[in-house]
Every structure is written in C-alpha cells, then in structure tokens.
Amino acid sequence: MFDLLVAELGAPATAELTHGELEELCERRGGEVVRQLLQDHLDQLGETLHAMGRSTDALAQLMRARAIRQQVGDRSGEGESCSTIPTVLQTLDRRAEAKAFLCVSMKIYKELGEPRLDDVRRRLLSDDIDEVQGG
C-alpha cells in the first residue's frame, strides 16, 4: 500500500493538485497504510502469542484485527481473519465457534470469488482437528 501511495504522489495528475489537496491525499491514503500496518501487527502478535501457548491473548489480538477490518469494510481481510481465528479457538477447545468463524470466512470468500474458498470449505467439512488448525 505504501508503494501505491508513493506511485500516486508521483503521478502526473498529482502535479496539478494544490498543497492542501496533496495533504488531504496523504492523510487519506496514509491512514490506509497505517491501518494495514496495525492489522498486520495484530495478526502477527496473535500468531506469536498462540505459538507461545498464550491462546487467550492471541484470540484477543486476532479479534481486534477482525474488528478493525469490519469497521473499515475490508471484506477480504475480514475473511482472512475469520479463517485464522479458528486455529486459536480449536486450541481452546471451542470447536463450535471455530466452525462458525470458518462459515463466515467461507461466505465472504464466496461473495468475493476468493480462490481460498476451497481451503476453507475443506477445513469446515473436516472432522480432523489438525485440518481445522491448518490455517
């Protein structure tokens, strides 16, 4: 996203913008970059905490990332979150919730035509715990 912002600022059309319009563009697009960095940070933190055996803390971070994605309308990111969260829920022996998140992920991926739909469908239909965890 940062590279897209840099490219947009360097585009010929941007040369015609006033200083105020450039600031507005930077604030809007820069905010998207910061939001994406925060989401990625929360995802990474969740995965790290989970690997450390701190599954409850991991779940909290992953849920925060999902909430941000919902708030800004990032459907693809929300689908990804809903596909990742079940790994932690499964560790916490919350299988029904894990499957519910996989259903949400599958619905979003289907709406978006995401190629990851088949993987989520396979995980959802599997009774094997390792398959559900296989994020």
Look at residue 93 and tell me if it is in a domain.
Answer: yes
> Which residues, at least 6 apart from 3, have a Cβ–Cβ distance to it below 8 Å?
none
Q: Are the C-beta atoms of residues 117 and 110 closer than 8 Å to each other?
A: yes
- Please state, in angstroms and rounded to a whole number, the distance separating the CA atoms of residues 48 and 133: 15
Q: Are the C-beta atoms of residues 66 and 78 closer than 8 Å to each other?
A: yes
pLDDT, tens digit (0-9, with 9 covering 90-100), for 61-88: 999 999 999 998 999 999 999 999 999 9
Please check the confidence at residue 134 and state whether its pLDDT lies above 70. Answer: no
Look at residue 11 and tell me if it is in a domain.
Answer: no
pLDDT, tens digit (0-9, with 9 covering 90-100), for 8-63: 888 888 888 888 988 888 888 888 888 888 888 988 999 999 999 999 999 999 99
Which CATH number fits the domain that encloses residue 75?
Answer: 1.25.40.10
pLDDT at 59: 97
Domain ranges, residue 40:
2-6+16-133
Please check the confidence at residue 129 and state whether its pLDDT lies above 60. Answer: no
Look at residue 116 and tell me if it is in a domain.
Answer: yes
Look at residue 77 and tell me if it is in a domain.
Answer: yes
- Please state, in angstroms and rounded to a whole number, the distance separating the CA atoms of residues 103 and 105: 5
pLDDT at 55: 96
Q: Which amino acid type is present at position 77?
A: G
Please check the confidence at residue 108 and state whether its pLDDT lies above 80. Answer: yes
Look at residue 26 and tell me if it is in a domain.
Answer: yes
- Please state, in angstroms and rounded to a whole number, the distance separating the CA atoms of residues 99 and 85: 10
Tally of domains within the chain:
1
Look at residue 88 and tell me if it is in a domain.
Answer: yes
- Provide the CA 129 distance to its chain's centre, in angstroms: 23
Q: Are the C-beta atoms of residues 101 and 86 closer than 8 Å to each other?
A: yes
